[in-house]
Amino acid sequence: MKINVSNRRRKKLRIAQIAPLNSAVEPDPRYATTGIIYYLTEGLRKKGHEVTLFASGDSQTSAKLVALTPSVVNEKDLSEKQKQKGYRAYLYNFALAARAYRQWQEFDIIHIHLGNNGQVEGLFFSDLAPVPTIASVQCMFDELMPEIVQSFQKKVTFVALSKDHLEKAQPLKSKTFIYNGIDVNKFSYGKDPSDYLLFLSRLHPNKGALTAVKVAKKLRLPIKVAGHRSTSRPEYYQAILKEKGRRAELISEVDLPTKIKLYQRAKALIFPVQIDEPFGLVMIEAMACGTPVVAFGRGSVPEIVEDGKTGFVVKPGDLAGLAKAVKKIYEMPQKDYLALRQRCRKRVEEKFSIGRMVDHYEELYLKVRGEK
């Protein structure tokens, strides 16, 4: 489905946004999905649409907030007594979705956001309301119990996050993808970069932190590794500790201001992703700050990073190629490097801003309602 964005006057819509309850909807949550929901909701509100947000009670929003719980709900937070009584985190997601669909007459569009931590539960109510349901898939499709999800495709418009994501979702017959966006003004351009290499993501094998450390060690470059440890893979963190050289600095999970400073001052971001991620927010955050990206060409990477123009895209698994690409950036004449940084910023402004993301969702809402 091709989405054309125009500036003509739009019909004002009544929109329900249903968020998963594993994370509060706020500008900088641990899980990217609820951050996207925050900015989409605020952007739609600025356009004059009436938005109701179904989320945890500790969420931040200018929209009308409907909450069943005062705070987030995760399986690990449930007491043993609750679990013995049959309490499960997904049941709270079911209840929240049911609340939204019971109010379907108040909405023109119901928008759910699917991830491996919820809100798949919302799909089960989509047949019960005549209003269109949009489902943004914020994870890999094979994490969504595809046999179940496919049964809803006649009623639900599924939205992928990139062209690659869309291609891998063909069992759903989805025809639409919309890139996620960020607040470009918040991720301001770094005018005085330092000489360290940056890795910023979860310390999990899928993200490739160990590969990043190996590359920096091979090139004898300083590297800052920032991100929270994966509790499911403690041995991976130990492997990083064992591998890192004297010039590697491990930083725990960072808040947004610290994250932005790390991006702004980095010579380059290394992103040796090991899976076909639907979309990599960390790449556009770094590029918005002017920091070029060197990454394995998996998933959405070739759509985000312009090879040779805003960084380098390397054949997946090619450690020597990754090191060679990083070295190219460090050996660039200063004039060429600064031009590279400026192109990074410009690309995010043009393709990956919140405004662009909101425009495309607004256009999609009108299309599925047959009003465009």
| CATH code (residue 293) | 3.40.50.2000
270 located within any domain: yes
Residues 201 and 295 in one domain: yes
Residue with tokens 């994370």: 23
- Beta partners for residue 66, in sequence order: 54
Are 266 and 341 in the same domain?
Answer: yes
Query: Rounded distance, CA 338 to CA 332, Å?
Result: 9
Is residue 273 located within the same domain as residue 162? no
218: domain range? 197-351
- Interval 220-229 mean pLDDT: 93
State the Cα–Cα distance between residues 118 and 138, nearest whole angstrom: 10
Q: Which of 1-10, 215-224, 345-354 shows the lowest mean pLDDT across its residues?
A: 1-10
Bin 34: left if φ > 0, else alpha if -120 < ψ < 50, else beta. alpha
134 and 168 inside one domain: yes
Rounded distance between C-alpha atoms, residue 357 and residue 179, angstroms: 6
pLDDT at 261: 97
Share of the chain above pLDDT 70, in %: 93
Give the residue from 371, 4, 349 showing the smallest Cα distance to 176: 4
The pLDDT value given to residue 149:
79
Which residues, in sequence order, are bridge partners of residue 220?
none
Phi then psi for residue 149, to 5 deg, are -60, -40
Residues 360 and 257 in one domain: no
Domain count, the chain: 2
Q: Are residues 115 and 226 in the same domain?
A: no
Question: Is there a domain that residue 280 lies in?
Answer: yes
User: In terms of domains, do 241 and 138 share one?
Assistant: no
The percent of residues in the chain predicted with pLDDT above 90, rounded, is 68
Report the mean per-residue pLDDT for the chain: 90
Nearest residue to 288 via CA among 269, 307, 314, 273: 269
> Do 133 and 172 fall within a single domain?
yes
Q: Are residues 293 and 149 in the same domain?
A: no
Distance of alpha carbon 360 from alpha carbon 154, whole angstroms: 22
pTM (two decimals): 0.91
- The answer to whether residue 1 is domain-embedded is no
pLDDT at 30 > cutoff 50:
yes
**CB contact set of 222 (below 8 Å; sequence gap of 6+):** 195, 196, 197, 216, 247, 248, 249
Predicted confidence (pLDDT) at residue 309 exceeds the cutoff of 60:
yes
Domain annotation covers residue 9 = no
pLDDT, residue 133, reads 95
Distance, in Å, from the CA atom of 64 to the CA atom of 2, rounded to the nearest integer, reads 31
Please indicate, yes or no, if residue 110 is contained in any of the structural domains. yes
Same domain, 165 and 205: no
pLDDT, tens digit (0-9, with 9 covering 90-100), for 247-266: 899 998 889 999 999 999 99
Let me know whether 58 and 173 are in one domain: yes
Is the same domain home to 217 and 338?
yes
Q: What is the mean pLDDT of residues 98-116?
A: 93
Contact indicator for 197, 174 with CB cutoff of 8 Å: no
Residue 48 lies in a domain: yes
pLDDT bin (cut points 50, 70, 90) of residue 9 is low
DSSP state of 362: H
Query: For position 7, what pLDDT does the model report?
Result: 46
What gap in Å lies between CA 315 and CA 297, rounded to an integer? 6
pLDDT at 78 over 50: yes
DSSP string, 23-87: S--SSS-SSHHHHHHHHHHHHHHHTT-EEEEE--TT---SSEEE-SSSS---GGGS-HHHHHTT-
